[in-house]
Structure 1
Amino acid sequence: MEEQILQYRDAVYEQVVKVGKSLGNVTRLRILDLLVQGPKTVENLANTIGLSVATTSRNLQILKKARLVEIERHKNFVTYRLTSDQIKQLISLLVTVAEQSQPELAAIQTTFKQQTGSPQALTISALKAKLTAESTYLVDLRPNDEYETQHLPGAHNIPYDELPQHLAELPQDKEIVVYCRGRLCAYANVASQALHDAGFKVATFNQSVWEWNQLMSS
């Protein structure tokens, strides 16, 4: 019986290890973080990450084998999506654990914020209060497809690459709050400095839309 218990233990842990192994790669974590924003084609993922379609596809197959992503077939194309909201929760928790256990991560984030001159990020409760008071103009810096999938209430979509062309459209009498894909996304910090240099009062929100929705629904 003892041998049977040991065999069972090793077998079940081996299945859990499969998930861990699939996560132990920077490219695959970036893919999962992008898919938190919504379904994407392999071409879209490859272009965003800056890798070839072939390399991106190989990493997607590893994630698919671990059942973290799945294929959704359309008439003329195929998209990849996360298999469940639990994967979104896993990525969020993984970032939280890294922030709490890896001082190097905090140092990297602090240095980057100092270099970009970005302001202190708003908490979810602070942003909620500002939105209630209608004292802010909220800007979603993500690509349009991610914005259309889900976005914060009242947010205006100005993709990061297009921000310089839209500065004249932003209100001067409100605080501009910018956000992107979440805590590991750099766009909000860089954009906040550009807006500050252009004379706007600006703040950042560095959590993801999914994290916002989770707290609002709890």
Structure 2
Amino acid sequence: MDERITQYRDAVYEQVVKVGKSLGNVTRLQLLNLLAQGPKTVEVLASTANLSVATTSRNLQILKQANLVGIERDKNFITYRVNSERVKQLMTMLVDICEEVLPEMTTLQKTLTAETGSPKALTIEDLRGKLMSEDVCLIDLRPADEFASRHLPGARNVPYDQLERRQSELPKDKEIVVYCRGRLCAYANVASQQLHDAGFNVATFNQTVWEWSAISSATR
């Protein structure tokens, strides 16, 4: 075999391995999923992920070395962000593959649904159909900064940690559909249980905002 072919093959595989290694860690996947919701500082990421700033910074540097995330500087503030929409697509594909090849993934999802008494999660087509009706109130459970970065059309922001005290704002004569950060997040299921117990007609949407956007763009 031509030595140039061997050298090239080994070198490009090494680059692919670099990305793979950066994803092979629960903490880094969690940070990447949070950044897919919108740019964040190290401090905000650490607080949201319940990590120390030092641990967060160390793992962000590994993601940065793989060029999956980048930084924006504003005076003394540094904000991290994903470097490409394809990083979000990669996260979606990883979850899709896990659901397809790992029975444990499906079992975890079914167990969460059973434990929270959540209704079957709506598909994108289901939700699109419901949003054509005025009888639906769509609730985004993410923090305000993530909502401001991007949200589903017509959604109202009620962060999960404010849900209990703001229930009086929600209409009892409409179906409440709650969503958060997608299939790697349990907030929508737990919130739907709380709202159901409070007497609301509620459904969940467990896809991400960018999954919605990708499908919507493809069907235009």
TM-score (norm 1): 0.98
* Equivalent residue letter for 1:99: E
CA distance in 1 between counterparts of 2:7 and 2:153 reads 51
CA distance in 2 between counterparts of 1:115 and 1:195 reads 15
The corresponding residue for 1:167 is: 167
Instruction: Tell me the CA shift for residue 169 of structure 1.
Output: 1.2
CA distance in 1 between counterparts of 2:60 and 2:139 reads 31
Is 2:119 aligned against 1:105?
no
The corresponding residue for 2:121 is: 121
The corresponding residue for 1:214 is: 214
Percent identity reads 67
The corresponding residue for 1:84 is: 84
Instruction: Tell me the CA shift for residue 134 of structure 1.
Output: 1.7
The corresponding residue for 2:38 is: 38
CA distance in 1 between counterparts of 2:4 and 2:163 reads 62
The corresponding residue for 1:151 is: 151
Is 2:143 aligned against 1:138?
no
Is 2:10 aligned against 1:26?
no
What pairs with 1:170-181 in structure 2 (closer than 5 Å)?
170-181=170-181
Is 2:188 aligned against 1:188?
yes
C-alpha distance after superposition, 1:97-130 (max 9, x if no partner):
0111111011111111101111110010110111
Gaps of at least 5 residues in structure 2 are none
Instruction: Tell me the CA shift for residue 135 of structure 1.
Output: 1.6
C-alpha distance after superposition, 1:6-44 (max 9, x if no partner):
222111101110000000000000011011101000011
CA distance in 2 between counterparts of 1:96 and 1:135 reads 31
What is the total number of aligned residue pairs between the two structures? Answer: 218
Gaps of at least 5 residues in structure 1 are none
CA distance in 1 between counterparts of 2:4 and 2:197 reads 67
* Equivalent residue letter for 1:123: T
Instruction: Tell me the CA shift for residue 162 of structure 1.
Output: 0.6
CA distance in 1 between counterparts of 2:14 and 2:134 reads 52
The corresponding residue for 1:60 is: 60
TM-score (norm 2): 0.97
C-alpha distance after superposition, 1:121-150 (max 9, x if no partner):
001011011111122000000000000111
Task: Specify the SS of the correspondent of 2:80.
Answer: strand
Quote the RMSD (CA, aligned, Å). 0.9
CA distance in 1 between counterparts of 2:217 and 2:73 reads 30
